[in-house]
Structure 1
Amino acid sequence: MPILSRPALIEHLVRTRIAGDVATPRDNNLSHYRKLANGDRHYWLGLELGDRWADEQDVLAVMAERCGVNDDPAHRTGQDTIDPELTVDALDRAAARLRKAAAGKQRVLFATGHPGALIDAHSRVAAALRAQGCDIVRIPGGLTADEGYVVQFADVAVFERGATLWHTHSPEPMNAILDGLEALGEPRPDLVVADHGWAGRAGQRGIDSVGYADCNDPALFIGEAEGTMQVTIPLDDHVIDPRYYEPLTDYLLDASGLL
């Protein structure tokens, strides 16, 4: 499949609803912004936000600027949006960080709280970086968090419970990995590519972190605004067919010089 041009990728993102008019409704977005502002740490995604974002309207303003949601506070229900131009802009920023990782043959960790959607996208980038000489982190065995296990498939760390890979926002699996590496005397990653609390906690612990985030997950966008996150890429993080992410991943790999 040829690499899509920027305009063609934007058309693909809108057509598949990875961006544009996305499935996440406006009232769900605003509910999450309010809960973050009210100090619900579940919505902080591993970041430490203190009381700096106690005004819901400040959260909305960041999300309008960095994700492309509707900036009208009176718009309370119905359709909301992710700006596909912002998605591709963020892919370009992520590509620059991946080029740096490849040039320095850095140590990189991949993880996802959305194994049903994003594991292949992460795995492909991991394989491309390994081919350039990067050290893709192999997580320690026997790690536990949140009454489950932290395991690794196709170079991507995931959360498993009851023989099932789980969707999780929790930062605790990332804590388990970083603490496990330290206990073994292994170096921590130079870069984490992840999402949800995996990405936020890595950034909070001082590691360069690139994260994918949906329009109802404002914390990672705030993290980039504050400089804790290196890059946050806005997209619907669980569309109906994970193959829809393939052109996006192709674009990222090409822009990174990894194809």
Structure 2
Amino acid sequence: MPMDPAPAAPSRQSLAEHLIRTRIAGDVATSRENNLDHFRALAEGNRYYWFGLELGDRWTDLSAVLELMAERCGVVASPKHRHGQDTIDPELTIDALDRMADVLHKAAENGSRVLLATGHPAGLFAVHHALADALRAAGCTLITPPDHLYADGGEIRHLASVSMLHRGGGLAHTHSPDPMREILEALERAGEPLPDLVVADHGWAGYAGGQGIDTVGFADCNDPALFVGEAEGSVLVTVPLDDNVPPHLYAPLTAYLLAAAGLDARI
């Protein structure tokens, strides 16, 4: 499945400027009210917001969740800020891309078995697709789900080696961990080894990381679970970004990530 030619990798400064200009970071579209609602839901034990991780009673303090999100994502740190604009720090985004690049580089060196998945097919699929092509070219084995797996009211399908959920005649947005659970259980039933690495978002990433699989992921500022997972060590890297801007806007970010990982961006 060909894509448009990848742009040249931007410098760190150019990428930061692009992230702010496109609102992938900086002043993002997600409101402070929405962020605080989701932080509170995670702290109150609403498993929908745990993304398949098991957090127990370790994150019941809303102030601790806000402090973590300010540190790792760049939301406004003050608890008095309750309405209006919220933020993602583009420097934290790029720092996390650099950490993710290290993981991807090692996966390529080792010829790892990699599973890529997204709950944002209208946004982040473009990033996952490019990573899939580059990892395959580097010698990695890409894992795709068996046919006829179902979860979260839909069928698990793959396109360009990226797993997604199909529901109601189209590819669906989902936070659920259930699709990843179904894939991993199907691999075990078939006697196939589990992935060495998962590259994903939402519950796809959370569930994999919670099962002890090396996992890197992308997360928006209203999705605290993967940042909590990184803080606890169940997720290796969580990249903060707006996870649903028009897909072509992620191209410079993807080019930067591929270059930092030493992967071929000529796809």
TM-score range, shorter chain: over 0.9
1:42 aligns to what? 48
Residue 254 in 1 paired to residue 248 in 2?
no
Superposed displacement of residue 138, structure 1? 2.0
Deviation string, structure 1 residues 119-155 (Cα, Å, up to 9, x no partner): 1210111111111110000211110112211110111
Counterpart among 224, 232, 236 of residue 238 in structure 2: 232
1:108 aligns to what? 114
Give the secondary-structure state (helix, strand or coil) at the position aligned to 1:181: helix
Question: Aligned AA for 1:44?
Answer: W
2:105 aligns to what? 99
Give the secondary-structure state (helix, strand or coil) at the position aligned to 1:23: strand
Question: Aligned AA for 1:111?
Answer: A
Counterpart among 212, 215, 218 of residue 221 in structure 2: 215
State how far apart, in whole Å, the 2-side matches of 1:194 and 1:141 are.
20
The runs of at least 4 consecutive aligned structure 1 residues that moved more than 2 Å come to: none
1:184 aligns to what? 190
State how far apart, in whole Å, the 2-side matches of 1:156 and 1:175 are.
16
Unaligned runs of 5+ in 2: 1-6
Counterpart among 154, 160, 168 of residue 160 in structure 2: 154
Give the secondary-structure state (helix, strand or coil) at the position aligned to 1:22: strand
State how far apart, in whole Å, the 2-side matches of 1:245 and 1:147 are.
29
1:87 aligns to what? 93
Unaligned runs of 5+ in 1: none
State how far apart, in whole Å, the 1-side matches of 2:169 and 2:36 are.
34
Question: When the two structures are aligned, how many residues end up with a matched partner?
Answer: 258
Counterpart among 61, 68, 77 of residue 67 in structure 2: 61
2:3 aligns to what? none
Question: Aligned AA for 1:230?
Answer: L
Superposed displacement of residue 228, structure 1? 0.5
Q: TM-score w.r.t. structure 2 length?
A: 0.96
Deviation string, structure 1 residues 148-205 (Cα, Å, up to 9, x no partner): 1111011100011121111000000000000011111111100000000000000001
Question: Aligned AA for 1:151?
Answer: R
Question: Aligned AA for 2:152?
Answer: D
Deviation string, structure 1 residues 187-235 (Cα, Å, up to 9, x no partner): 1100000000000000001100001000000000000000000000000
Q: TM-score w.r.t. structure 1 length?
A: 0.99
Superposed displacement of residue 2, structure 1? 2.2
Question: Aligned AA for 1:249?
Answer: T
State how far apart, in whole Å, the 1-side matches of 2:23 and 2:168 are.
32
